[in-house]
Structure 1
Amino acid sequence: MPIEIESPEEYGYDKIKYNLSESSISDQSLGSLGLQVPDLKLLYNEHQGSTALRKLVVQGSDELKYKDVLITCGAAGALFIIASSQLSINDHLVVMRPNYATNLETPRAIGCGISFIDLSFESGFQLDLETLKNTIKPNTKLVSITTPHNPTGTGMSLETLNDVVALTKERGILLLVDETYADISYSERLPIAASLGNHVISVSSLSKSYGIPGIRLGWLINKNTSLQETFLAAKEQINISGSVIDEWIAEQVLSRKHEILATTIREMKHRREIVASWIERDELLEWVRPEGGIVCFPRIKDGFEPAGGLAAFYHRLLHKYGTYVGPGHWFELPDVFFRIGYGWPTVAELEGGLRAISEALRDTSS
């Protein structure tokens, strides 16, 4: 079944006053990026993606080369290629949860065995290495982790990442690291995970941290030549090559990566503090402070139930207060949790939506 039937674009943006459900920064336009598309020849592009773009993706990494990069149709396309080419009904997957739906739904559709590493609020949504060790089975083919994490915004330490890389290498297991939010880190950015081993696959895109989901541009990175041949074969069966226009736009953006990110990270730090101040003032809510990305995952404190229950709260929040958030069931968790995206709305909309949440929690009307 469709997994995003509750997304704001499906519900209708015109029905929402304060949209705090988005998981990217504000949508950019060609004009806001200072771009005008030239008279490009609309041919089949290089199947792996343009050489210039692939060089930009791994620029700054001494361990990675452009040949290690495959350009895909967004991060979702990369995740589909990896799952569909590497997992079968006889294989086993270990995946962090909560997680982005594509990391869960495609393996389910394939029919492989799945074990979840359920991250808890009490642990700060951190991965426990011993739990991972105990979850791996003889037929485990792939371990899938995400950092910075969606929907919590929490990060993984370099020490933990190195431990996971070493464990999966020792067990002969592929390691998928979803790094979609890695470019917006509020402390030191982790290295591209694929640089740490030939069995590691990094996935990312320009959708979330750069605000251009409309060009459908992502990538996967892996240093294993044989694996990359398989991934390319899968891509060719799906869409042969990427869009010349999309890849040109991506080249222009990544060529200004540091300039763009410096402005974005400064603004997102400010917005994170707006949310932090709100959480501190509202005694009904708690959170784990995000260390990257532009989403967070507050929780309604134990012992409080909104008037009419949680379903009534979300209905009231949307239909009376015009505010849309991502309830916990989007991520297979109870609806006492909800995801807030603080990067997409204007600051005024963010502040208005946060006030609305507090008011809707206390509203006793039906």
Structure 2
Amino acid sequence: MKYARMPIEIESPEEYGYDKIKNNLSESSITDQSLESLDLQIPNLTLVYNEHRGSTELRKLIAGDSGLDKDDVLITTGAASALFIISTSQLTAKDHLVVVRPNYATNLETPKAIGCGITYVDLQFESGFQPDISFIEAAIQPNTKLVSVTCPHNPTGTVMSRATLDRLVAITKEKNCLLLVDETYRDVHYGTQLPIAASLGDHVLSVSSMSKSFGIPGIRLGWVITQNKTLQETFLAAKEQINISGSVIDEWIAEQVLARRTSILAATHEEMKIRLQMVALWIEKDNMLEWTKPQGGVVCFPRMKKDPVGGTAAFYERLLKKYHTYVGPGHWFEMSDTYFRVGFGWPTRAELQAGMEAISQALRDDS
């Protein structure tokens, strides 16, 4: 495999320097939590090799009342590790992938490094960034191993309907290929929550993590869910060869948070609804911008109706250097830089408001 660094990582605020950014609207999660904010104090844990599949209690909490079993869940080092395991175990240079785009880079870059054939399902602003299921069905070839979608979608925040998800499940079953649903934002929604996709068929894989909806990316904990026991053994073998088991500390923290997920997520939902309304009011007032309103997650993907003063490169330079505000430009997602991702869950409300005002000013600034 030939690895290449992704623009979204090269240009991340961690690389640029948080101290240089006043209004950080580039993040894709809710506000980073601390042990204190979560009211947690780590006990005197024994630092053993943990259960290779992940702690039993943690896997039970993730399966919840979905109809899935704890043994359908494999704990991984973040969702990125789960996606890497799936791609490297299921795809070769002789295989074919159908994947939605724009997308988070890991869903695109690992298959590229493997060298498999790829058909992109390019989501369009004009269709509300909803996938064309007929196109996906027609794109499936005899050597297609995997159809990969993200729901809620990153970077647009759009959500498929239950009927669309059911149709995808049926099509991939009929075509004898796997369906991967990246559900990292599933726990933050502004309507009816979809079921865990893996509960809908033994050829369906669900991937998620504690990073986005719970605001704890620092514990590096995610998971892949599948009812297929053969696949689960393959994924476990990959995990064991990469890092044997997960962190005892990380898994303990995740257990405490998921044990209180109902109350934690209730507070998150209330806050994110307020922030989403703030963004909606801003977009409505700014005649240079348009968007598809998110139905889930904490990101959106506005589009400039016309080029800003001096062009897009000058706009981003101005926005960061003069207004100290950072967003995720379209090229992070292989899109035109007339699009940009706004993360409305991570900054404070004051920073979000100031950042949106800065964007509007930088679009028009000719100084």
Q: Where in structure 2 are the equivalents of 1:128-207 lying within 5 Å?
A: 128-207=132-211
Moved more, 128-137 or 157-166: 128-137
Tell me which of 16, 22, 27 is aligned to 1:17: 22
In structure 2, C-alpha distance between the alignment counterparts of 1:356 and 1:185, rounded to whole Å = 27
Q: Gaps spanning 5+ residues in structure 2: where?
A: none
The residue identity in structure 2 corresponding to 1:323 is T
In structure 1, C-alpha distance between the alignment counterparts of 2:234 and 2:140, rounded to whole Å = 24
The residue identity in structure 1 corresponding to 2:19 is D
Instruction: Give the TM-score, by structure 2 length.
Output: 0.98
The residue identity in structure 1 corresponding to 2:36 is G
The residue identity in structure 2 corresponding to 1:6 is E
The residue identity in structure 2 corresponding to 1:280 is E
**Counterpart of 2:336?**
334
Q: Is 1:356 aligned with 2:358?
A: yes
Q: Is 1:2 aligned with 2:5?
A: yes
Instruction: Report the 3-state secondary structure (helix = DSSP H, G, I; strand = E; otherwise coil) of the residue aligned with 1:30.
Output: coil
Tell me which of 260, 263, 288 is aligned to 2:264: 260
Tell me which of 38, 57, 65 is aligned to 1:60: 65
Tell me which of 107, 111, 114 is aligned to 2:115: 111
**Counterpart of 2:293?**
289
Deviation for aligned residue 1:307: 1.9
The residue identity in structure 2 corresponding to 1:15 is K
Query: Following TM superposition, where does structure 1 have runs of at least 4 consecutive aligned residues deviating by more than 4 angstroms?
Result: none
Residues 246-302 of structure 1: CA distance to partner in whole angstroms, max 9, x if unpaired? 00000000000000000001100100000000000000000000000000000000x
Instruction: Report the 3-state secondary structure (helix = DSSP H, G, I; strand = E; otherwise coil) of the residue aligned with 1:209.
Output: coil
**Counterpart of 1:51?**
56
In structure 2, C-alpha distance between the alignment counterparts of 1:13 and 1:157, rounded to whole Å = 37
Tell me which of 41, 44, 49 is aligned to 2:46: 41
In structure 2, C-alpha distance between the alignment counterparts of 1:35 and 1:184, rounded to whole Å = 22
Q: Is 1:78 aligned with 2:82?
A: yes
In structure 2, C-alpha distance between the alignment counterparts of 1:305 and 1:19, rounded to whole Å = 22
**Counterpart of 1:244?**
248
Instruction: Give the TM-score, by structure 1 length.
Output: 0.98
In structure 2, C-alpha distance between the alignment counterparts of 1:111 and 1:2, rounded to whole Å = 16
Deviation for aligned residue 1:138: 1.1
In structure 1, C-alpha distance between the alignment counterparts of 2:307 and 2:64, rounded to whole Å = 50
Deviation for aligned residue 1:137: 1.0
Instruction: Report the 3-state secondary structure (helix = DSSP H, G, I; strand = E; otherwise coil) of the residue aligned with 1:317.
Output: helix
Instruction: Report the 3-state secondary structure (helix = DSSP H, G, I; strand = E; otherwise coil) of the residue aligned with 2:148.
Output: strand
In structure 2, C-alpha distance between the alignment counterparts of 1:265 and 1:104, rounded to whole Å = 29
Cα-Cα RMSD: 0.5
In structure 1, C-alpha distance between the alignment counterparts of 2:309 and 2:200, rounded to whole Å = 50
Deviation for aligned residue 1:133: 1.1
Residues 157-211 of structure 1: CA distance to partner in whole angstroms, max 9, x if unpaired? 0000000000000000000000000000111110000000000000000000000
Q: Gaps spanning 5+ residues in structure 1: where?
A: none
Deviation for aligned residue 1:2: 1.7
Tell me which of 254, 275, 279 is aligned to 1:275: 279
The residue identity in structure 1 corresponding to 2:5 is P
Deviation for aligned residue 1:362: 0.6
**Counterpart of 1:208?**
212
Residues 334-354 of structure 1: CA distance to partner in whole angstroms, max 9, x if unpaired? 000000000000000000000
The residue identity in structure 1 corresponding to 2:133 is L
**Counterpart of 2:320?**
318
**Counterpart of 2:96?**
92
In structure 1, C-alpha distance between the alignment counterparts of 2:199 and 2:122, rounded to whole Å = 27
Instruction: Report the 3-state secondary structure (helix = DSSP H, G, I; strand = E; otherwise coil) of the residue aligned with 1:169.
Output: helix
In structure 1, C-alpha distance between the alignment counterparts of 2:102 and 2:12, rounded to whole Å = 17
Aligned-residue identity in percent: 70
In structure 2, C-alpha distance between the alignment counterparts of 1:55 and 1:216, rounded to whole Å = 19
In structure 2, C-alpha distance between the alignment counterparts of 1:178 and 1:226, rounded to whole Å = 20
Residues 117-167 of structure 1: CA distance to partner in whole angstroms, max 9, x if unpaired? 000000000011111111111110000000000000000000000000000
